[in-house]
Structure 1
Amino acid sequence: MSRAATDWAWGLEIKASQKLLMLSLADRADELHCCYPSIQRLVKDTGMDRKTIGKWINQMIEDGFISDTGERKGKTKQVRVLRLNIEVKEAQKRNSTKFGNNTKNGHETSPILDNKRSQNWDAESVIEPNIEPTLSARGQFISEAAKRRIGISPNGEIPFPPAFKPSADHIAIASEKGINIETELLNFRDYHQARGTKLIDWNSAFRVWLRNARVNPLSGRQRSEPESPHWNSPEGWKDFI
């Protein structure tokens, strides 16, 4: 994981669904801010469907937030290796200066995808079946009160909800990773309240946070201290190829 990439992703002024996807990419980024999570992994992290993920990936490449390095990984050698362009300023907004292979900016940035690359992304998507229901599908069975408790807003972006409670999914992730969910919830709350973050779906954002958390056996209920990156090692990538 690249902490610099994660901090950069939180600061971007982009749509909430794009930001959630960018956070998932940053969660898998190495020290060079490169990552290659499979489409299935991004579906699990964000709760979005493959089509939406493909659309936002292509859009963020076109806007210059990420670049396609041209390298391919995965079992089929079709998973794109993406690089997060953390040099892009936090205040960058959509419909401002466009990026891509356009020399009007004085230099070249990320290449615009051609049809072949887009098809490669879709081909990898078909290979990996979706085994986890999306948040939108589950949400049809959740009451409005429950949605408020887990931080899902039907009316646009909201600050961190005071009544936010971890879901069963959050508890399962924390248990699987061996982390203290109460400590992580405090860290998550303080981090975003200090920055005035507003999101549509705090439930999914906390899921990404937990997947990003590291185990600190000495911390107990104390705040965990940063440890050495895990996702940068070849062993750490095996689960996501």
Structure 2
Amino acid sequence: MSMKALEWAMYDVPAEMVKGALLRILLLLADHADTQGRGAFPSQKRIVALTGYSRRTIQNGLHDLETAGLIRRGDQRITEHLGKYRPIVWDLTMKDFRGAKTTPLKQPPQGAQTTAPLNKLEGRNQGRKKTSLGAQSGAQHDCAQNLYKEEPYIEPRESNARARKQIPIPADWKPSEEHRALADRLGIDCDIEAGKFKDRALDTGATSADWDAKFRIWLMRGHELGYTTVKNQQSARKYTWASDEVKRVIGTDLEGTDDYMELACKVADLLNQGLDPDMLRRQLANVPGDAWVEQLFEQEAAA
């Protein structure tokens, strides 16, 4: 929330420019802006919920405020972490309309002003004269300005992408404990995905203000679309009949025979079940060629 932006919307914008719903929409944007009146990105759904107006009224109101020069489109990179459907980022123009204001209100008679709240206000502001109701409103406005001047400057939130520089992925970047917990919850192999994520960032030359947040989005988006590596996933067929390991187990004696393809496929199945190629080769070293199939079936049963 920015007191300066709210003060501008309430006091510096002429009333004839923000009639009806426009004022409430402008105040809501000012409430979401930073200290400079920039970076307000409430979604239309949120504006509808807070104001009670229809979506069409909100859309027309934003268009009218932009046409009147009260707001303009800001840095849209602020919402890049929100995914595909991102709200529009608005900046308040903070123009000085004080020169365009109408004449002040007529002052009421002197006898109509003495009230208890006014006396308290006079007690806080020593030396300030009793004035008409219109001058009293001006005094309250001055008080709001003084309060703002005493307000300390608040640093932009860390999540505000505009406040930080877009940098390439650091060479020593690695997933955090938070990433690993998220990956475990989603059933994803965090180390494999981190490697893919870093390689892609280096290959494309991408930059980001928050690489940790970008990797969290990578994990969640990949889980939704189903292209992440499942944790502890093993390939369905690591070896095939043409694998070098299969050839080493069978050797060259049987290569070219009618039974070679059947034997090679059987050996590949055993290796895919977890048998060590060297151990299997030693076990079959002294087995006659005509007994290979029976021996392989025994090995399969044992596996």
**What's the TM-score, normalizing by structure 2?**
0.31
Q: Which has the higher contact order (CA 8 A, sep 6+)?
A: 1
**What's the TM-score, normalizing by structure 1?**
0.39
Query: Of the two, which has the highest radius of gyration?
Result: 2
